[in-house]
Amino acid sequence: MKKIFVTRRLLKENEDKLKEIFEVKLNASDKIYSPSEIIEGSKDCDGLLTSVTDPIDKDTISKLSTKIKIIANGAVGFGNIDCKAAKEKGIAVTNTPDVLTDATADIAILLLLGASRKAYEGRIEAEREGWKWSWDFLLGKQMSNKKIGILGMGRIGRAVAKRARGFNMEIHYHNRSRLDDKLEEGAIYHKDIKSLFSISEFLSINCPATPDTNKIINSKTLNYLPSNCVIGNAARGDVVDDDAMIKALSSQKVFAYGLDVYNGEPKINPGYLKLKNIFLLPHLGSATKRTRWDMAYRATKNLEVFFKGEKPQDLVN
Ligand code: DGY
């Protein structure tokens, strides 16, 4: 029986399923392991089941046991793993696409709504005794009938577009390549971000974290946006230059920002915490029971198929 090192505690049903197929080393305390703990703990294992909280960089990969042949990441994003280094060492890497598309797109809309309608300030006011309705109380920005720019029109970006159509928004997007008509569903393609940003009254960030998208939202690109725009980030913190964003929020160039993901999670740039025009969530994009179950099940399937000698459907390297 192959042995799998599972870096984080899974839902019980998922751990039971894994145990039916593999010998497993589970993490009952759910402590976030350091790279050296992962290297040490997985010495006698054949594969890893990792989570978004595990940075498996080049150095860690070089020190992993040569027994390890696969890293099944329980996430659609795999920026936490150096896939090239893994490939060079003969280690397959898989992710879990599709199953979290809807949950994450729901959160992307929540971020835009929470930010634009001042949900954070609303909560503070609601808890304050003596608040009262008035004509100019906490006036936000309405999403309906506006133009939304979607940065990254993969599965999640397209699911955001689908929801935005329900708000009668005009859908614009930028992607590495233009989608075909069927996937575009009338969305307007912009071949560069300057063009996309210049019309984005609302901007939803849904692109993966890659060297190309690192800090793609910076002081230069923020300037392309119309004043008083609203931004939501359900993708990755690395995509945003926090200092530039905090400056844009402080000057109201950006009306409000909703974010679920952070540079160096779980740390949050303290500049954000001083602002009221933000709406923060602690990386809840895929946090529904159904979705988490599906993600771990999909990672398990990738391991199972791989050890049967077949190509896993979600191989990314
Ligand atoms: C993912 O799958 O990439 C999500 O961010 C995990 O919650």
pLDDT of residue 118: 98
- Give residue 282 CA to ligand 1 midpoint distance, Å: 12
pLDDT of residue 191: 97
Atom of ligand 1 nearest to the CA of 283: 7
Please state, in angstroms and rounded to a whole number, the distance separating the CA atoms of residues 210 and 236: 10
Tokens encoding 197? 């940003």
- For the domain 3-97+288-307, what is the CATH superfamily, name and number? NAD(P)-binding Rossmann-like Domain (3.40.50.720)
- Give residue 136 CA to ligand 1 midpoint distance, Å: 38
- The residues, any chain, with a CB within 8 Å of residue 314's CB and separated by 6 or more, are 94, 95, 96, 97, 298, 302
Q: Are 65 and 46 in contact (CB under 8 A)?
A: no
Task: Please name the residue whose Cα sits nearest to atom 7 of ligand 1.
Answer: 286
pLDDT of residue 35: 97
pLDDT of residue 121: 97
- The residues, any chain, with a CB within 8 Å of residue 290's CB and separated by 6 or more, are 103
> Helix, strand, or coil here: 60?
helix
Q: Are 116 and 142 in contact (CB under 8 A)?
A: yes
Atom of ligand 1 nearest to the CA of 96: 2
Task: Please name the residue whose Cα sits nearest to atom 1 of ligand 1.
Answer: 75
Per-residue pLDDT 10s for the chain (317 aa) are: 999 999 999 999 999 999 999 999 999 999 999 999 999 999 999 999 999 999 999 999 999 999 999 999 999 999 999 999 999 999 999 999 999 999 999 999 999 999 999 999 999 999 999 999 999 999 999 999 999 999 999 999 999 999 999 999 999 999 999 999 999 999 999 999 999 999 999 999 999 999 999 999 999 999 999 999 999 999 999 999 999 999 999 999 999 999 999 999 999 999 999 999 999 999 999 999 999 999 999 999 999 999 999 999 999 99
Tokens encoding 295? 């993600």
Q: Which residues are annotated as catalytic? A: 236, 265, 283
Task: Please name the residue whose Cα sits nearest to atom 3 of ligand 1.
Answer: 77
Task: Please name the residue whose Cα sits nearest to atom 2 of ligand 1.
Answer: 75
pLDDT of residue 20: 98
Tokens encoding 13? 């049903």
Give ranges for CATH 3.40.50.720 in the chain: 3-97+288-307, 101-280
pLDDT of residue 25: 98
Q: Kind of pairing, strands 202-205 and 92-94?
A: unpaired
Q: Are 100 and 286 in contact (CB under 8 A)?
A: yes
Chain centroid to Cα 251, Å, comes to 27
Please state, in angstroms and rounded to a whole number, the distance separating the CA atoms of residues 230 and 255: 6
User: What's the longest Cα–Cα distance across the chain?
Assistant: 68
Please state, in angstroms and rounded to a whole number, the distance separating the CA atoms of residues 162 and 171: 9
Tokens encoding 138? 């906490």
- Give residue 135 CA to ligand 1 midpoint distance, Å: 40
- Give residue 101 CA to ligand 1 midpoint distance, Å: 10
- Computed over every residue of the chain, the mean pLDDT equals 97
- Three-state SS across 219-282? HHHHCCCCCCEEEEECCCHHHECHHHHHHHHHCCCEEEEEECCCCCCCCCCHHHHCCCCEEECC
Q: What is the CATH number of domain 101-280?
A: 3.40.50.720
Q: Ligand 1 pocket check: which of 7, 76, 95, 99 to mutate, most ligand atoms within 8 Å of Cβ?
A: 76
pLDDT of residue 227: 97
pLDDT of residue 161: 98
Please state, in angstroms and rounded to a whole number, the distance separating the CA atoms of residues 76 and 101: 9
Report the pocket of ligand 1 as residue ranges, CB < 6 Å.
52, 75-77, 100, 283, 285-286
pLDDT of residue 276: 96
Determine phi and psi for 179, rounding to 5 degrees.
Answer: -80, 160
